[in-house]
Amino acid sequence: MTEDSAASGLGSEMVYRSLRRDILKLDLRPGTELDESVVSARYGVSRTPVREALIRLTAENLVTSTKGRGARVAGLDLQNLRDFFEGLDILQRVVTRLAAVRRRPNDLDTIKAHMLAFEEGARALDSETVNEANYAFHAAIGEAGQSSHLAAAYRRSLIESLRISYVCFSEHSELDERLDAHLGATMQDHRAMFDAIVAGDVDTAELIAGNHVELFRGRIITTLLSTDTARRISVKTAGG
């Protein structure tokens, strides 16, 4: 690898992580144009690492690219949460069940590491760590199921849930007792899922995975009833 290509790789990673964080936290709203020259100037890099970062974000469905219109932050359709949760429920139950059958020792190590990272973030009430560790925990379960197509579909749903989570878990103060209770219940679910996967108990793993989606759904619905939260995300989420 040449010095220029190494520098490009570092620049691409920095742009990717920065844009991803801003998109997930809605600092870049759905539909926002991501002009390559503007992004290049913002981060002080050439267009090549910007283009590479946008390709990665497009693969995660966080950015859309249309010929003649360029790249934009992907829409976030909060009006269609029923469809989202139906898909998440099915995928989460299936991949968790498969993980209980097909998991390997290194899969268990990875899942456990992310589970512990989530717990550390929850105790610190660090919303960014909580959301990223939660994503990594479930994505690792998807990988443990050793079904590439299902794992890819599941990751797409998890990415969508990340944006929803940032909206709904970053709006509240440290004194939010309901959030504290939710995080506690989430940690219990994670532990129970992990134990079922370790034990190869497919039925229990699937049951807990389904209940875990319901826990998330309940938190989202409760938070969306908040006037302040609803006002913050009231922009046209399809990017129009």
Tokens of 61: 């469905």
| pLDDT interval class at 237 (50, 70, 90) | very low
- Model pLDDT, residue 20: 92
Same domain, 18 and 94: no
For 98-127, b/e burial (b = at least 16 CB within 10 A) is bbbeebeeebbebbbebbebbbebbeebeb
**Residue 172, Cα to own-chain centre: how many angstroms?**
19
Residue 8 has pLDDT above 80, yes or no: no
Domain CATH number, residue 167:
1.20.120.530
Angle between helices 148-169 and 127-144 in degrees, nearest 10: 170
Quote the DSSP letter at residue 33: B
**Res. 18: pLDDT tops 50:** yes
- Count each helix (H run) and each strand (E run) in the chain, helices first: 10, 2
With a cut of 80, say whether residue 203 has pLDDT above it: yes
pLDDT at 66: 81
84 plus 63 within the same structural domain: no
Examine the fold and report which residue of 40, 57, 73 is the final residue of a domain before the chain moves on: 73
Q: Which pLDDT score is estimated for 49?
A: 93
Residues 198 and 117 in one domain: yes
Instruction: Please give the DSSP secondary-structure letter assigned to residue 170.
Output: S
Higher pLDDT, 169 or 39: 39
Indicate whether 68 and 152 sit together in one domain: no
| pLDDT-derived band at 201, boundaries 50, 70, 90 | very high
> How confident is the model over 195-206, as a mean pLDDT?
98
Asked if pLDDT for residue 84 goes beyond 80, the answer is yes
Looking at residue 17, which CATH number applies to its domain?
1.10.10.10
Residue 111 has what pLDDT? 98
Last residue of a domain, one of 34, 58, 73: 73
Same domain, 49 and 132: no
**Which of left, alpha, beta for 61 (phi over 0: left; psi -120 to 50: alpha)?**
left
Cα radius of gyration rounded to whole Å, the chain: 19
| pLDDT at residue 142, rounded to an integer | 98
Nearest to 11 by CA among 49, 56, 37, 38: 49
Average pLDDT, the chain: 86
| Residue 55 shares a structural domain with residue 153 | no
Is 80 exceeded by the pLDDT of residue 146? yes
Q: Taking every pair of C-alpha atoms in the chain, what is the biggest distance, in angstroms?
A: 53
pTM for the complete prediction?
Answer: 0.83
Q: What is the predicted pLDDT for the residue at 77? A: 72
Long-range own/partner contacts, residues 217-224 (CB < 8 A, 24 or more apart): 217/85, 219/168, 219/169, 219/182, 220/81, 220/164, 220/168, 222/178, 223/167, 223/168, 223/169, 223/171, 223/172, 224/78, 224/168
Task: Decide if 240 is inside a domain.
Answer: no
> Which residues form the domain of 144?
79-232
| Co-location of 98 and 122 in the same domain | yes
Q: Containing H/E element for 225?
A: none
